[in-house]
Amino acid sequence: MLIASLKPRTMGGTTNMGLLAYALHRAGHPVTCYDADESRQLVRWSLKATDFPCKVHPADTPSFAESVYPGMDHTRINLVDAGHAENHPDIVDSVLEVADLVIVTLSPTEPDYERLVRPERGTTIAKIIKRSAAMRDSEQPPATYVLLNRCQASSGSPQKYRRLLTNGGEDGTDHRWTVLSTRIPRLEKIASAVGSSPSHRDVKAPYDALVTELTRLGHVPEQGAAR
Ligand SMILES: Nc1ncnc2c1ncn2[C@@H]1O[C@H](COP(=O)(O)OP(=O)(O)OP(=O)(O)O)[C@@H](O)[C@H]1O
Ligand SMILES: [Mg+2]
């Protein structure tokens, strides 16, 4: 299976994919990562952290579906970290042709929300995902969830933006997203996670919860039994 991390611009996507790879590995799943961002940050993380749980293959190509996907071991959980959808819609289109599950990382703040629903330029991620149906064998867009990250403990904004995302904005005319219950907290230890091994419980726990939720939703197989 293939899980894709998408975002309109810098949102915490690489941090989430790397820490999800560690969490899947802790849960006993065989994992492989693909870095479809030309900045190759996930590749560098895997080279720097000696215990990174898997190989990260560079895969920043608009022919991802034709040249990368067929070579994957589909018995493993494959993760792909895509770059800015605003700047690289061609790569994102190709990832969406074959992804089983999409996780859109978003912080519950006005600028990040606006960037998702009303980008200054380019096509909204919601539309990019919707139109991918035409290119997919299933003729349906992939299952897609928003993962709220950088959530301030005791702040009302995760709840506020969860409601806006779920309801399609204040007037219900925007895309209606499904938002994961798992929230990634705003933490300095997570902010500095890229390039190192997560050792602190506060860094691991939210991503263990994410694996549990994705398993409960049926998107990740029961422990150690990847499809
Ligand atoms: N949970 C968090 N708490 C605090 N800071 C975070 C958290 N997650 C990510 N960050 C910070 O947010 C910034 C962006 O993170 P990251 O590089 O993972 O995002 P990205 O979407 O992959 O960005 P890029 O555009 O470079 O690909 C970094 O400075 C990172 O330290
Ligand atoms: Mg990144």
What does the pLDDT read at residue 153? 85
> What is the predicted pLDDT for the residue at 8?
86
Atom 31 (ligand 1) nearest CA: 191
**CB of 183 closer than 8 Å to CB of 154:** no
Q: How far is CA 16 from CA 70, 146, 176, 205, in A?
A: 25, 12, 22, 13
Which residue's alpha carbon is nearest to atom 23 within ligand 1? 10
Alpha-carbon gap, residue 76 to 36, rounded angstroms:
18
What separation in Å is there between the alpha carbon of 63 and the centre of ligand 2? 20
The tens digit of pLDDT for each residue in 170-199 reads 999 999 999 999 999 999 999 999 999 999
Per-residue confidence (pLDDT) for residue 224, from 0 to 100 = 53
Give the bridge partners for 34, in sequence order.
Answer: 57, 80
Ligand 1: lining residues by beta carbon, under 6 Å: 7, 10-15, 37, 39, 83-84, 149-150, 184, 186-187, 190-191, 194
Tokens at 41, concatenated: 């940050």
143 burial level (CB within 10 Å; 0-12, 13-18, 19+): middle
10 Å CB burial of residue 69 (0-12, 13-18, 19+) is buried
Residues in the chain, pLDDT under 70 = 224-227
CATH number of 2-216: 3.40.50.300
Residue 90 alpha carbon to ligand 1 centre in Å? 23
